[in-house]
């Protein structure tokens, strides 16, 4: 029997968490190193798993494990990853060690064990939710993720942390409860039985009526829209992200919120193809509003972390547009966008954290002239920002353009309006850069150290990935494309043909 | 098959690259990119020799470009368009874009211009930036610019072109804001990037529309097949491309950033904001020739934009007292000429690119001259405090004079060959009112150019001394003067070298195709004489006002037109009133609504659902078990729900 890869990778952080809690509370050093070690071992195992992944079959679920869990309920312990799930698991396992490293000095003695423990528990849940192949298991993990995040924000956050944590929880619970109703109802539409919650058993169902399908779709979609977050249920995110420690904000916005868009592409579309098409016009409109609204709100923010949160509302709008435009390249773009946004937002939040660690504030107006005093810090912020505004050559450009072109071929007006988001993105990044990093050197910054070695290790890998995937996104796209093709078949959607007839493609002679 | 298709339009087909010079052409981009990376990542360790590495990288690219030129020259003209496939870049379903280069007469002409003028400016900068503590970073950005610009012109698809396109935009942003500790300079940099982004919006929409129409975005597919698309599609694509071109090339109505861009160090103004980057819009239009040829309305729009900008820049140029801003206005106006020509079809393309080449030399030369003047005058840019510098800076004066005569279009200087071609083509293209209006605009523009450039030249180098007491003007060091001298040689001779016997035209024909040449509505000799008479009038007027008569040290109030021109014809006021203020108002009100309205509504709902404030307070005080309980309850509900039905 082969190694149960996903269970192993999922359990490693949990074991790490147990180890962290067992260590003497006063030994912060050991706590940190064990936590980092556990996350790095998880990453190493993920890398090993990725090498075993059969790219040619990326549309199928691989490393599948199916065990009976609660047969009375129809719930199974079923794991497996297709191309999309694989890259999301990889994204999670890459970002966790980065965040642990970023939080190295942020957490005070005595509370460190719980902090790192919770992060590792969260990692287990994140891996699980992306790998779940059973709707019930997915739901349980989807809700379980809230617990560590709630504590991470509520105990380790900024001044308004309790308010932000409760708000986060209420929104998420509300979304979750609506989804729960849909989950139960879905079971009865399916074949039932001891494995009635397996995703494969619920795909391609013939629903009793269109109304049933649409209601079930809405139940799932609502939860995912809150999580993603889309306008108008986005308002929990700026508070949560602003109050959370920056490492937690990274996991929250970079990974957790992706469960929303991940759910849309891997559950909403395959389970409810008819309803997804029915809802497309409204979803596209809401997503378009998210793109523009998020960007405009970002421009108006005076707090750096809130600004980053709003840029994410805008970016999530792009992702949703790409998913619901239902072209293969648009969806590949969205799936890639989930990864790229994870890295670029992580870089932004982490640099924001480094600034806050020096200045004790995230108010944009409290900064100025830092380009001269701390050029590396300024350069890191600029690169992360350029990635956020989707500068060609960086990874986010590839995904954003795919989303836009994938939308244009079906909904040209939506695509053209969404491109306005590109101009607004330039505004929110460059205005912020100008305020914080240009101008005369300020006195307060005279004694500041530029990036430390640890900080370089936090930022450099992210930027390296951002540039590498911008120049050569093919390895990731190759993994995503087959999974997207499968989804396209499940919703029986096809790409529009070129409108000009009889185009002769460039001669074969021009390619070696 | 491809070949026969393309040959119909008189254009060469695309063939695969062969031989090391062609297949290694990626090195053109890679070398300066590597230089830039070493300088940026190497940090302070590379401070001592970094600038020389930058110079070397740029010249190395030029050397390869020269080899490439010789290589293509050795081929039959119709075999000079070579595509070099590099790797599969964005493969996603039907959307497949490969990274590849297109080596053809047009791109190679650009390669030579960019690397040659670029390398000269690298050399000049070694001395110009000598006392700047960040000189290494400056060279890193310059190298990055060269790499991006080469990618822009060598890319074999619109999507890869876009990478270079925004890459040069980034370089421009970084270099305009190179001294960003000055808040005004930082603002100028940001403005340039954002106005350019508005243009980029057009370019990206055009690429999407191309994909929707042709199912591909590479030149080798789109251009030969353009004729098969309907006029509506091509007009849409063409207009979107034009928006992109307007942003990058500072054409009306996206021209407002160029004047402010003069905040950058002067070598940057010479290289990026005069000789190369700002001409990328012209390249884009000429490259997309087959699209515009199928969309006469889009073509007309190109001509109109070019014509308006030509006059706009010329009028503004007459009123500026800042030597760099006057040159910037002139650049805008000259690119207007190129744009106008680019809208006139295949014959116009040739002269657009021809003028782009000669302009690259004489304008870069004059900018370097302005830099040399600033170098000798304590960084002053106010021409009202110059005057009579010809004696103190002989080389600068003479090289500047070469550029001045070239831009005036005095035979046999470079500008004569290219600008006269544009005027003649404008008078020869179209029917009815068009040749008269467009030709007339180009003609009047030549007179205005003569006036404002002579004004600039006389105010700086002739007339009365108006220096501040502490000024000690002196000639610049050899590292600065030699590039100026070489560019001056180009200003004098390049036009004749390329223009005699239609050499440049024949070189570009495989790309531009051969258009039907019509006779101008006015005989060509009459046009030449008329142009020269207007130029002479312009010079005479400037001489009377700025050489023989004393120039006041503070600018007189001036007429309504002068005041408008000084304020760039109110471009910033318009942008502020139409876009910025409403935008700020919108943003502020949305922030308010988001805090009070959207959030408030959802929060109110949440409070009701969550069981009112009391419970919320309890949760806040840390009775956290209740969350675990509520989630558990969720699971229990599932369990019960399912069990209930089973029983």
pLDDT of residue B634: 60
Domain membership of residue A192 (yes or no) is no
Domain membership of residue A361 (yes or no) is yes
Pairwise CB contact (< 8 Å): B83 & A510? yes
Estimate the crossing angle of helix A83-102 against helix A453-471, to 10 degrees.
160
Are B503 and B497 in contact, with CB atoms under 8 Å apart? yes
The helix/strand/coil state of A512 is coil
The helix/strand/coil state of A74 is coil
> What six digits make up the tokens of B250?
């500072």
Residue B430 φ/ψ, nearest 5 degrees: 85, 180
Pairwise CB contact (< 8 Å): A301 & B591? yes
pLDDT of residue B637: 59
- B18, B638, B640, B646: best to mutate for the A interface, most A CBs within 10 A: B638
C-alpha distances out from residue B597 to A69, A163, A289, B600, Å: 45, 18, 16, 5
pLDDT tens-digit readout, A398-420:
999 999 999 999 999 999 999 99
pLDDT of residue B622: 44
pLDDT tens-digit readout, B361-389:
999 999 999 999 998 888 888 888 888 88
Residue A133 φ/ψ, nearest 5 degrees: -115, 20
> Of all helices (H) and strands (E), which one includes residue A65?
strand A62-70
Q: CA–CA separation, B388 vs B399, rounded Å?
A: 15
- Tell me the nearest-neighbour CA distance from B62 into chain A, angstroms: 24
Q: CA–CA separation, A73 vs A195, rounded Å?
A: 8
pLDDT of residue B2: 36
Chain B residues inside the 8 Å CB shell of A74: 642
Pairwise CB contact (< 8 Å): A184 & B638? yes
Residue pairs between chains A and B whose CB atoms are closer than 8 Å? 266
Mean predicted lDDT score pLDDT of chain B: 87
pLDDT tens-digit readout, A456-494:
988 999 999 999 999 999 999 999 999 999 999 998 888
Residue of B nearest to A296 (CA): B587
Q: CA–CA separation, A126 vs A85, rounded Å?
A: 11
Domain membership of residue A289 (yes or no) is yes
Pairwise CB contact (< 8 Å): A505 & B221? yes
Pairwise CB contact (< 8 Å): A235 & B5? no
Residue of A nearest to B3 (CA): A507
- Tell me the nearest-neighbour CA distance from A267 into chain B, angstroms: 19
* Cα angle A236-A237-A239, degrees, rounded to a multiple of 5: 75
Q: CA–CA separation, B250 vs B333, rounded Å?
A: 9
- Tell me the nearest-neighbour CA distance from B201 into chain A, angstroms: 6
Are B236 and A413 in contact, with CB atoms under 8 Å apart? no
> What six digits make up the tokens of B104?
């053809």
Q: CA–CA separation, B494 vs B503, rounded Å?
A: 11
Q: CA–CA separation, B453 vs B542, rounded Å?
A: 9
Per the structure, the count of domains in chain A is 1
Q: Which of B165, B170, B637 sits opposite A180 (nearest CB)?
A: B637
Domain membership of residue A387 (yes or no) is yes
* Cα angle B558-B559-B561, degrees, rounded to a multiple of 5: 120
Pairwise CB contact (< 8 Å): A511 & B1? no
As for the ipTM of the complex, it is 0.92
pLDDT of residue B611: 47
Pairwise CB contact (< 8 Å): A422 & B200? yes
Pairwise CB contact (< 8 Å): A146 & B209? no
- Tell me the nearest-neighbour CA distance from B478 into chain A, angstroms: 31
Chain A residues inside the 8 Å CB shell of B194: 423, 426-427, 430
Chain B residues inside the 8 Å CB shell of A83: none
- B3, B95, B184, B641: best to mutate for the A interface, most A CBs within 10 A: B95
Chain A residues inside the 8 Å CB shell of B15: 509-510
Maximum average pLDDT range among A281-295, B16-30, B69-83:
A281-295
Q: Place B631 in a pLDDT band, splitting at 50, 70 and 90.
A: low
One digit per residue, the tens of pLDDT, for chain A of length 512 reads 478 999 999 999 999 999 998 888 778 888 889 999 999 999 999 999 999 999 999 888 999 999 988 888 888 999 999 999 999 999 999 999 999 988 888 776 668 888 999 999 999 999 999 999 999 999 999 998 988 998 898 888 888 888 888 888 888 888 888 898 898 888 888 888 888 888 888 888 888 888 889 999 999 999 999 998 898 888 889 989 999 988 899 999 999 999 999 999 999 999 999 999 999 999 999 999 999 999 999 998 989 999 999 999 999 999 999 999 999 999 999 999 999 999 999 999 999 988 888 888 888 888 888 888 888 999 999 999 999 999 999 999 999 999 999 999 999 999 999 999 999 999 999 999 998 888 888 888 777 888 888 889 889 999 999 999 999 999 999 999 999 999 999 988 888 888 888 887 775 444 43
- B93, B164, B234: best to mutate for the A interface, most A CBs within 10 A: B93
> What six digits make up the tokens of B136?
């290494």
- Tell me the nearest-neighbour CA distance from A70 into chain B, angstroms: 9
Pairwise CB contact (< 8 Å): B181 & A422? no
Chain B residues inside the 8 Å CB shell of A485: 93
Q: CA–CA separation, B191 vs B188, rounded Å?
A: 5
pLDDT above 70 covers what percent of chain A?
98
Pairwise CB contact (< 8 Å): A434 & B165? no
Q: Which of A426, A506, A509 sits opposite B197 (nearest CB)?
A: A426
pLDDT tens-digit readout, A176-197:
888 988 988 888 888 888 888 8
pLDDT above 90 covers what percent of chain B?
55
Q: Which of A169, A188, A478 sits opposite B627 (nearest CB)?
A: A169
- A405, A423, A440: best to mutate for the B interface, most B CBs within 10 A: A405
CA atoms within 13 A on the CB side of B258: 34
The pairing of beta strand A62-70 with beta strand B82-92: unpaired
pLDDT of residue B574: 84
Chain B residues inside the 8 Å CB shell of A502: 225, 228
Q: CA–CA separation, B550 vs B541, rounded Å?
A: 14
Q: CA–CA separation, B13 vs B225, rounded Å?
A: 12
- A159, A395, A503: best to mutate for the B interface, most B CBs within 10 A: A503
Q: Which of B167, B182, B205 sits opposite A419 (nearest CB)?
A: B205
Residue B102 φ/ψ, nearest 5 degrees: -115, 115
Are B372 and B457 in contact, with CB atoms under 8 Å apart? no
DSSP assignment string, A85-151? HHHHHHHHHHHHHHHHHHTTTTSPTTSHHHHHHHHHHHHHHHHHHHHB-BHHHHHHHHHHTHHHHHH
pLDDT of residue B155: 94
Chain B residues inside the 8 Å CB shell of A403: none
Q: Where are the alpha helices (DSSP H) in B155-264?
A: 158-176, 183-214, 219-225, 231-248, 257-260
Are B609 and B602 in contact, with CB atoms under 8 Å apart? no
Domain membership of residue A338 (yes or no) is yes
Residue B88 φ/ψ, nearest 5 degrees: -75, 120
CA atoms within 13 A on the CB side of B477: 9
pLDDT of residue B237: 95
Are A345 and A298 in contact, with CB atoms under 8 Å apart? no
Residue of B nearest to A188 (CA): B642
Pairwise CB contact (< 8 Å): B194 & A430? yes
Kindly tell me if the per-residue pLDDT of B608 is higher than 70.
Answer: no
pLDDT of residue A3: 85
Chain B residues inside the 8 Å CB shell of A484: 92-93
- Tell me the nearest-neighbour CA distance from B396 into chain A, angstroms: 33
Q: CA–CA separation, B10 vs B5, rounded Å?
A: 9
If one counts every other C-beta atom within 10 angstroms of the C-beta of residue B227, the result is 15
C-alpha distances out from residue A511 to A505, B82, B152, B487, Å: 12, 11, 20, 39
Q: CA–CA separation, A39 vs A51, rounded Å?
A: 19
Q: How far is CA A347 from the centre of its chain?
A: 13
Chain B residues inside the 8 Å CB shell of A151: 624
The pairing of beta strand B15-16 with beta strand B82-92: parallel
Strands of the sheet containing B95-103, edge to edge, are B15-16, B82-92, B95-103
Q: CA–CA separation, B526 vs A418, rounded Å?
A: 52
> What six digits make up the tokens of A2?
């082969």
pLDDT tens-digit readout, B289-305:
999 999 999 999 999 99
Pairwise CB contact (< 8 Å): B602 & A233? yes
Sequence-distant (≥ 6) Cβ neighbours of residue B68 within 8 angstroms: B21, B22, B25, B28, B103, B108, B111
CA atoms within 13 A on the CB side of A349: 34
Q: Minimum mean pLDDT among A127-141, B190-204, B585-599: which range?
A: B585-599
pLDDT of residue A12: 94
DSSP state of B317: H
Q: CA–CA separation, B209 vs B75, rounded Å?
A: 35
Pairwise CB contact (< 8 Å): A426 & B233? no
Q: Which long-range contacts (CB under 8 A, 24 or more apart) does B313-316 make?
A: B313/B255, B314/B445, B314/B448, B314/B449, B314/B452, B315/B448, B315/B561, B315/B565, B315/B569, B316/B259, B316/B565, B316/B568, B316/B569
* Cα angle B184-B187-B192, degrees, rounded to a multiple of 5: 130
pTM above 0.80, yes or no: yes
Q: CA–CA separation, B637 vs B631, rounded Å?
A: 10
Compute the residue count for chain A: 512
Pairwise CB contact (< 8 Å): A170 & B638? no
The helix/strand/coil state of B95 is strand
- Tell me whether the omega of the peptide bond preceding residue B292 falls within 30 degrees of 0, making it cis: no
C-alpha distances out from residue B132 to B135, B188, B554, Å: 5, 20, 31
Q: Place B51 in a pLDDT band, splitting at 50, 70 and 90.
A: very high
Pairwise CB contact (< 8 Å): A392 & B641? no
Residues B104-126 have a mean pLDDT of 94
pLDDT tens-digit readout, B415-450:
999 999 999 999 988 888 898 999 999 999 999 999
> What six digits make up the tokens of A468?
């590498």
Residue of B nearest to A431 (CA): B190
Q: Which of B162, B183, B214 sits opposite A500 (nearest CB)?
A: B214
Pairwise CB contact (< 8 Å): A296 & B587? yes
Kindly tell me if the per-residue pLDDT of B308 is higher than 60.
Answer: yes
pLDDT of residue B567: 85
Pairwise CB contact (< 8 Å): B201 & A422? yes
Q: Which domain holds residue A305?
A: 274-494
If one counts every other C-beta atom within 10 angstroms of the C-beta of residue B351, the result is 29
Which among A313, A388, A379 is positioned nearest to A346, based on CA atoms? A388
Pairwise CB contact (< 8 Å): B204 & A422? yes
Kindly tell me if the per-residue pLDDT of B623 is higher than 60.
Answer: no
Domain membership of residue A368 (yes or no) is yes
Residue of B nearest to A499 (CA): B213
Chain A residues inside the 8 Å CB shell of B149: none
Q: CA–CA separation, A419 vs A318, rounded Å?
A: 10
Domain membership of residue A90 (yes or no) is no
pLDDT of residue B602: 60
C-alpha distances out from residue B55 to B52, B124, B146, B264, Å: 5, 10, 11, 19
- Tell me the nearest-neighbour CA distance from B208 into chain A, angstroms: 5
Q: CA–CA separation, B610 vs A144, rounded Å?
A: 19
């Amino acid at each position: 029997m082969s190694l149960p890869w996903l269970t192993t990778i999922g359990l490693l952080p949990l074991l790490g968490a147990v180890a962290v809690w067992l260590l003497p509370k006063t030994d912060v050093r050991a706590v940190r190193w064990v936590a980092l070690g556990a996350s790095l071992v998880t990453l190493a195992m993920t890398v090993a798993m990725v090498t075993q992944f059969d790219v040619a079959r990326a549309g199928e679920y691989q490393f599948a494990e199916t065990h009976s869990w609660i047969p009375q309920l129809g719930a199974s312990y079923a794991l497996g990853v297709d191309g999309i799930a694989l890259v999301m698991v990889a994204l999670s396992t890459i970002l966790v060690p980065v965040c642990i490293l970023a939080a190295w000095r942020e957490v005070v003695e005595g509370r460190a064990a719980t902090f790192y423990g919770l992060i590792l528990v969260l990692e287990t849940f994140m891996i699980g939710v992306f790998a779940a192949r059973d709707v019930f298991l997915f739901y349980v993990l989807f809700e379980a993720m809230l617990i560590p995040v709630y504590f991470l924000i509520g105990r380790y956050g900024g001044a308004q942390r309790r308010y932000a944590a409760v708000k986060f929880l209420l929104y998420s619970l509300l979304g979750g409860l609506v989804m729960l109703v849909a989950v139960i109802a879905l079971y009865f539409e399916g074949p039932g039985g001891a494995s009635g919650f397996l995703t494969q058993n619920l795909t391609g169902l013939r629903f009793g009526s269109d109304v049933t399908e649409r209601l079930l779709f809405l139940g799932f979609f609502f939860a995912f829209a809150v999580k993603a977050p889309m306008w108008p249920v986005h308002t929990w995110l700026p508070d949560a992200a602003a109050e959370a420690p920056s490492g937690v904000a990274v996991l929250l916005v970079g990974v957790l919120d992706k469960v929303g868009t991940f759910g849309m592409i891997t559950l909403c579309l395959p389970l409810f193809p008819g309803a997804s098409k029915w809802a497309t016009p409204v979803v596209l409109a809401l997503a378009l509003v998210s793109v523009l609204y998020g960007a405009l709100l970002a421009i108006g923010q005076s707090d750096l972390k809130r600004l980053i949160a709003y840029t994410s509302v805008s970016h999530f709008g792009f992702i949703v547009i790409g998913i619901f435009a239902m072209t293969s390249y648009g969806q590949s773009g969205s799936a890639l966008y989930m990864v790229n946004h994870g890295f670029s937002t992580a870089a932004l939040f982490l640099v924001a954290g480094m600034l806050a660690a020096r200045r004790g504030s995230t108010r944009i107006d409290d900064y100025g002239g830092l380009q001269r005093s701390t050029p590396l810090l300024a350069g890191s912020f600029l690169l992360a920002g350029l990635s956020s505004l989707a500068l060609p050559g960086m990874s986010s450009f590839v995904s954003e353009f795919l989303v836009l072109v994938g939308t244009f071929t079906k909904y040209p007006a939506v695509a053209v309006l969404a491109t306005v988001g590109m101009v607004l993105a330039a505004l929110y990044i460059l205005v912020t850069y100008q305020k914080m990093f240009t101008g005369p050197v300020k006195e307060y910054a005279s004694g500041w150290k530029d990036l430390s070695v640890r900080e370089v290790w936090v930022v450099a890998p992210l930027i390296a990935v951002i540039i590498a995937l911008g120049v050569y996104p093919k390895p990731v796209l190759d993994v995503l494309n087959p999974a997207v093709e499968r989804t396209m078949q499940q919703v029986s959607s096809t790409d529009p043909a070129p409108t000009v007839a009889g185009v002769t493609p460039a001669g074969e002679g021009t390619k070696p | 098959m491809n070949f026969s298709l393309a040959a119909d339009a008189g254009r060469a087909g695309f063939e695969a690259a062969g031989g090391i010079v062609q297949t290694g052409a990626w090195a053109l981009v890679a070398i300066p990119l590597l230089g830039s990376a070493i300088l940026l990542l190497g940090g302070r360790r590379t401070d001592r020799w970094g600038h020389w590495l930058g110079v070397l990288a740029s010249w190395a690219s030029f050397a390869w470009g020269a080899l490439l030129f010789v290589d293509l020259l050795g081929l039959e003209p119709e075999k000079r368009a070579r595509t070099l496939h590099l790797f599969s870049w964005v493969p996603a379903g039907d959307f497949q874009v490969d990274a590849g280069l297109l080596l053809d007469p047009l791109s190679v002409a650009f390669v030579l211009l960019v690397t040659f003028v670029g390398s000269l400016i690298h050399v000049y900068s070694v001395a110009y930036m000598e006392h700047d503590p960040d000189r290494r970073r400056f060279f890193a950005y310059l190298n990055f610019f060269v790499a991006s610009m080469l990618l822009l012109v060598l890319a074999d698809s619109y999507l890869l072109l876009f990478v270079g396109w925004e890459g040069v935009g980034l370089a421009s942003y970084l270099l305009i804001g190179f001294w960003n500790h000055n808040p005004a300079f930082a603002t100028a940099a940001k403005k340039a990037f954002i106005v350019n982004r508005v243009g980029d919006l057009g370019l990206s929409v055009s690429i999407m529309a191309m994909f929707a129409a042709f199912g591909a975005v590479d030149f080798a597919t789109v251009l030969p097949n353009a004729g098969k698309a309907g006029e509506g599609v091509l007009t849409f694509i063409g207009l979107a491309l034009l928006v992109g071109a307007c942003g990058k090339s500072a054409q009306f109505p996206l021209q407002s950033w160029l004047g402010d861009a003069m905040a950058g160090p002067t070598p940057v103004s010479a290289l990026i904001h005069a000789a190369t980057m700002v001409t990328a819009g012209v390249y884009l239009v000429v490259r997309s020739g087959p699209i515009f040829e199928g969309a006469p309305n889009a073509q007309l729009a190109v001509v109109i934009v070019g014509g308006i900008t030509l006059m706009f820049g010329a009028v503004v140029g007459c009123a500026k007292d800042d030597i760099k801003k006057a040159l910037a206005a002139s650049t805008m106006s000259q690119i207007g000429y190129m744009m106008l020509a680019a809208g006139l079809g295949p014959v116009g393309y040739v002269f657009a690119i021809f003028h782009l080449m000669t302009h690259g030399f004489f304008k870069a030369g004059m900018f370097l001259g302005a830099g040399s003047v600033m170098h000798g005058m304590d960084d002053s840019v106010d021409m009202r405090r110059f005057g009579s510098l010809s004696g103190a800076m002989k080389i600068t004066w003479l090289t500047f004079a070469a550029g001045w005569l070239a831009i005036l279009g005095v035979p046999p200087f470079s500008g004569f060959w290219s600008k006269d071609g544009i005027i003649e083509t404008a008078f020869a293209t179209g029917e009815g009112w068009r040749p008269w209006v467009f030709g007339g605009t180009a003609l009047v523009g030549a007179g205005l150019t003569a006036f404002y450039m002579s004004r600039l030249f006389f105010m700086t180098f002739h007339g009365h001394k108006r220096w501040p007491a502490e000024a000690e003007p002196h000639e610049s060091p050899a590292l600065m003067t030699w590039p100026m001298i070489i560019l001056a040689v180009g200003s004098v001779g390049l036009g004749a070298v390329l223009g005699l016997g239609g050499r440049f035209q024949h070189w570009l024909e495989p790309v531009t195709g051969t258009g039907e040449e019509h006779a101008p509505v006015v005989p060509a000799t009459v046009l030449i004489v008329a142009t020269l008479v207007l130029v002479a009038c312009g010079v005479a007027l400037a001489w009377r006002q700025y050489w023989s008569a004393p120039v006041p040290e503070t600018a007189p109030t001036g007429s309504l037109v002068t005041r408008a021109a000084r304020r760039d014809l109110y471009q910033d006021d318009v942008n502020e009133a139409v876009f910025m203020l409403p935008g700020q108002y919108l943003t502020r009100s949305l922030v308010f609504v988001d805090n009070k309205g959207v959030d408030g509504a959802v929060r109110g709902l949440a409070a009701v659902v969550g069981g009112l404030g009391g419970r919320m307070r309890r949760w806040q005080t840390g009775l956290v078990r209740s969350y675990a309980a509520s989630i558990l309850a969720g699971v229990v509900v599932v369990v019960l729900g399912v069990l209930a039905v089973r029983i």
